[in-house]
Amino acid sequence: LFTVLDIERCDLNIKSNSSSHHTELFGEERLLVRRGEPFIIILHLKHGSEEFKQGETSFTLIVETGPLPRKESDTKVSFSLGESIVDTEWSASALNESSGNTVSVTINSSPNSPIGLYSLTLDQEGQKTNLGNFILLFNAWCPRDAVYMQSETKRQEYVLSQHGQIYKGTHKRIKGMPWNFGQFGEGILDICLKMLDENPKFVFDADKDCSARRNPVYVTRVLSAMINSNDDRGVLVGKWGEISDGVHPGEWIGSGDILRQWAERGPVRYGQCWVFASLACTVSRSLGIPCRVVTNFGSAHDSDANLLIENLYDEDGESLSNGDSIWNFHVWVDSWMARPDLGSKYDGWQASDPTPQERSDGVFCCGPASLRSIKEGELTKKYDAPFIFAEVNADVVDMVRLSNGQFVEFSGSTKSVGRFISTKAVGSDKRRDITHKYKYAEGSAEERQVYEKAQHHNKLQQRGEEPGLHLKIKLSDGMIMGSDFEVYAVLTNNHMETKTCNFLFIAKAVSYNGKLGDTCGFISDRVEVPSGEERRLSLKLEYDSYGSVITSDRLILLSAITVDNSMGLVGEALVNQPVTAEMTLLNPLPEPLHNCSFTVEGVDLTNGKPITVKIGEVDPEQEAKTSVELSPTSSGSSVLLVNFDSDNLRNIKSFINVVVMA
């Protein structure tokens, strides 16, 4: 029989937990902890209660958040006592204090938990005791948290510092302006949580929204929408003109007054970009997401998403409005987090912009977009990379409209957009230039190459296409049972560079239930496809081949495949010295390949005869790999040919040129 504890009260041990969780600046009225980090609570037992005995006393703890706590959404978690805590999930362990009437319980939260207000309940075989509430925040100190930041000085700056410098002016005259973020001010955290609870996604589906609060990417995007009042009852109304009511944006000196006014009375009038960004920084830091305010001088607003700022004039020199503009400066925020949705190379700083400029997925919000994706011109990476790329790297063209209605370009610039991108330095009030984090050096070969790549990606996006090799199958007229006819596979190269690959076109009999029969047509070719061009492969289906294998369903499955294979030498090829050739091929089929082999042959490389290596079976989406040792017998240029063979994928050929040194 397990003993049941008779609990008089629970001490949430706020002072000690706040110190170890870096939350003491919030005050000591309630428990605030960061996820993935253990915290300790003390259970005071009633006089005469059974003592806690390790291994004999057991109970379950239940944590719940949101209006609809559910185990499936990770908004409700039950966990029992263990011998020790587990740092990857919700877990707990307990110790009996020496006095005998207190129990110290160590609780560890999952580093992937949704943030927010939680209740904590103790369950002893159905007898439940409410132990209190706590708020769980993101944790930049926890290596398993998505917002983990390695440097303590950076954590102090980007999470804990309540003051900052906002840069304004022009690129020739940059001025720093102090700002009070005040993220630990009285009531501010509650207002930040209220902001999450009033966002339309929560109103539409509270369960899904609360569950998604585990992800700083999601939370940052919600904040980008809620800081401005467009589309929702968000915090701040933007205005860029004469102001006769409300507060002029230039009068604000901190975030606290604005957030408190919003919580009491709804949208606050007025803000411009630096106010929107400063609010976003306050809320992000309050919730535990490392954040910095960033100013871009010569900031482009590309309204038609063509990565060009077009200044249009008539023949009298009068400006024609088209929506594009360049601001003296524009301010947004960078937030620090992992991007598992994009891949680890895009981890780190992510730009988001709460100033309402253009809609994203139907809402006035922008980001978060990885700085790495912006710098490399990877505009297919979400969120809103093309818009932010244009802000720092658009080209400018000046055009005049002639009397016949045509526009003619008469000047332009590739260097006037995206200058002196600035943020406050870590640990001081000095300005730090971070332009190099957003773009390669202006006018450099890398910068121009990235711009061209971005233009290419952008055009594909506007056509609803992705960069890559695209396949289409075209059928001919006159496909009548009993006749011979041709079908075509068309391969289009949407990459920036020429691609060479093996192009296969296969015809197989198939039943209506998807069961594949025998092959009735096959052709392959090694093709070189320049950027933007296409290559066509024609397959003739003859009745003599397909008539005997198709079923009464009269169905033929056509599959066009490009095969990614590569070959290379490890080391330098020298006469009479062994050198290794490595070969790989990705199985593109949804079925295993059997009896796989590579055969290589090259004059003066393989002793005058082919070398075959059998590698057995290769599963779908797996690579066939092998290596062969070559023995060059004379110096000069040679060619190493390779052929891959298997039961379902045959005669895949490649080659490399080899220069053998004496």
Write the burial class of residue 94 (CB in 10 Å: 0-12 exposed, 13-18 middle, 19+ buried): buried
Active site residue 330: yes
Per-residue DSSP letter, 73: G
Question: What average pLDDT does the segment 634-649 reach?
Answer: 86
Active site residue 273: yes
Is residue 565 over pLDDT 70?
A: no
- 50 within 8 A of 32, measured Cβ to Cβ: no
Clarify whether residues 445 and 358 are in a common domain: yes
Is residue 277 over pLDDT 60?
A: yes
Task: Select from 390, 25, 341 the least CA-distant residue to 184.
Answer: 25
Measured from the Cβ of residue 463, the count of other Cβ atoms closer than 10 Å reads: 9
Question: What average pLDDT does the segment 226-250 reach?
Answer: 90
Q: Which of 548, 564, 580 finishes a domain?
A: 564
Give domain status of residue 155, yes or no: no
At 365, is the pLDDT very low, low, confident or very high (cuts 50, 70, 90)?
very high
Active site residue 163: no
CA trace torsion 344, 346, 347, 352 (10° rounding): -150
pLDDT at position 432: 97
- Give the integer Cα–Cα distance in Å for 598 and 525: 18
pLDDT at position 20: 97
- 111 within 8 A of 142, measured Cβ to Cβ: yes
Calculate what percentage of the chain has a pLDDT beyond 70: 95
pLDDT at position 589: 77
Q: Which of 393, 424, 454 finishes a domain?
A: 454
Over residues 122-150, the pLDDT tens digits come to 999 889 999 999 999 999 999 999 999 99
Q: Which residue has the tokens 């680890």?
A: 344
- 441 within 8 A of 460, measured Cβ to Cβ: no
Clarify whether residues 326 and 191 are in a common domain: yes
At 460, is the pLDDT very low, low, confident or very high (cuts 50, 70, 90)?
low
Spot the catalytic one: 21, 22, 330, 457. 330
pLDDT at position 121: 97
Is 393 annotated as a binding-site member? yes
Q: Of 236-240, 254-258, 361-365, 566-570, which gets the smallest average pLDDT?
A: 566-570
Give domain status of residue 147, yes or no: no
pLDDT at position 94: 93
Over residues 61-113, the pLDDT tens digits come to 999 999 999 999 999 999 999 989 999 999 999 998 777 789 999 999 999 99
Q: Which of 104, 137, 170 finishes a domain?
A: 137
- Give the integer Cα–Cα distance in Å for 121 and 130: 5
Is 395 annotated as a binding-site member? yes
Give domain status of residue 461, yes or no: no
Q: Which amino acid is at 193?
A: L
pLDDT at position 346: 95
Question: What average pLDDT does the segment 225-238 reach?
Answer: 92
- Give the integer Cα–Cα distance in Å for 281 and 354: 10
Clarify whether residues 410 and 532 are in a common domain: no
pLDDT at position 91: 97
Give domain status of residue 145, yes or no: no
- Give the integer Cα–Cα distance in Å for 159 and 181: 11
Q: Which residue has the tokens 């390779």?
A: 642
pLDDT at position 316: 67
Is residue 582 over pLDDT 80?
A: yes
pLDDT at position 321: 66
| Range of 130-134, 243-247, 295-299, 555-559 with top mean pLDDT | 130-134
**Neighbouring-strand partners of residue 655:** 641
CA trace torsion 172, 178, 184, 187 (10° rounding): -100
pLDDT at position 39: 98
Give domain status of residue 426, yes or no: yes
- Give the integer Cα–Cα distance in Å for 522 and 493: 22
Give domain status of residue 303, yes or no: yes
Clarify whether residues 510 and 432 are in a common domain: no
- Give the integer Cα–Cα distance in Å for 658 and 635: 10
- Give the integer Cα–Cα distance in Å for 34 and 135: 8
- 577 within 8 A of 632, measured Cβ to Cβ: yes
Question: What average pLDDT does the segment 633-660 reach?
Answer: 84
**Neighbouring-strand partners of residue 120:** 63, 132
pLDDT at position 136: 98
Write the burial class of residue 318 (CB in 10 Å: 0-12 exposed, 13-18 middle, 19+ buried): exposed
Clarify whether residues 496 and 374 are in a common domain: no
pLDDT at position 324: 72
pLDDT at position 143: 97
CATH number at residue 129: 2.60.40.10
Write the burial class of residue 152 (CB in 10 Å: 0-12 exposed, 13-18 middle, 19+ buried): exposed
Is residue 412 over pLDDT 90?
A: no
CA trace torsion 568, 574, 576, 578 (10° rounding): -30
Over residues 113-125, the pLDDT tens digits come to 999 999 999 999 8
At 305, is the pLDDT very low, low, confident or very high (cuts 50, 70, 90)?
low
Domain count, the chain: 4
The number of angstroms, rounded, from the C-alpha of 600 to the middle of its chain's C-alpha atoms is 41
Q: Across 260-321, where does the E strand assignment appear?
A: 268-271, 291-301, 308-313, 319-320
Q: Of 11-25, 162-176, 498-512, which gets the smallest average pLDDT?
A: 498-512
Coil, helix or strand at residue 630: strand
Domain that holds residue 57: 7-137
Clarify whether residues 169 and 237 are in a common domain: yes
Clarify whether residues 529 and 573 are in a common domain: no
Q: Which two tokens stand for residue 490?
A: 């068309």
Coil, helix or strand at residue 216: helix
Is residue 228 over pLDDT 90?
A: yes
Helix axes 273-287, 188-197, angle to 10 degrees: 100
Spatial neighbors of 8 by CB under 8 A, at least 6 apart, are: 44, 45, 46, 49
Among left, alpha and beta (phi > 0; psi -120 to 50; other), residue 224 is: alpha
Q: Of 434-448, 499-513, 620-634, which gets the smallest average pLDDT?
A: 499-513
Spot the catalytic one: 353, 366, 456, 501. 353
State yes or no: cis peptide before 383, omega within 30 of 0.
Answer: yes
Q: Of 238-247, 285-294, 497-506, which gets the smallest average pLDDT?
A: 497-506
Half-sphere exposure of 110 (CA within 13 A, CB side): 15
Measured from the Cβ of residue 243, the count of other Cβ atoms closer than 10 Å reads: 14
Higher pLDDT, 509 or 567: 509
Higher pLDDT, 488 or 174: 174
Give domain status of residue 148, yes or no: no
Is residue 463 over pLDDT 60?
A: no
Per-residue DSSP letter, 220: H
Clarify whether residues 294 and 425 are in a common domain: yes
Q: Which two tokens stand for residue 376?
A: 């490399």
Clarify whether residues 427 and 333 are in a common domain: yes
CATH number at residue 277: 3.90.260.10
Spot the catalytic one: 10, 142, 210, 273. 273
Clarify whether residues 409 and 521 are in a common domain: no
Clarify whether residues 477 and 398 are in a common domain: no
Give domain status of residue 152, yes or no: no
Is residue 570 over pLDDT 90?
A: no
Clarify whether residues 321 and 189 are in a common domain: yes
Q: Which residue has the tokens 């490649």?
A: 654
Q: Which two tokens stand for residue 462?
A: 């506007």
Is 442 annotated as a binding-site member? yes
Is residue 502 over pLDDT 80?
A: no
Question: What average pLDDT does the segment 315-333 reach?
Answer: 79
pLDDT at position 164: 96
Q: Which amino acid is at 172?
A: K
Is 486 annotated as a binding-site member? no
At 204, is the pLDDT very low, low, confident or very high (cuts 50, 70, 90)?
very high
| Average pLDDT over the chain, rounded to an integer | 88
The sign one gets for the Cα dihedral 471, 477, 481, 486 is negative
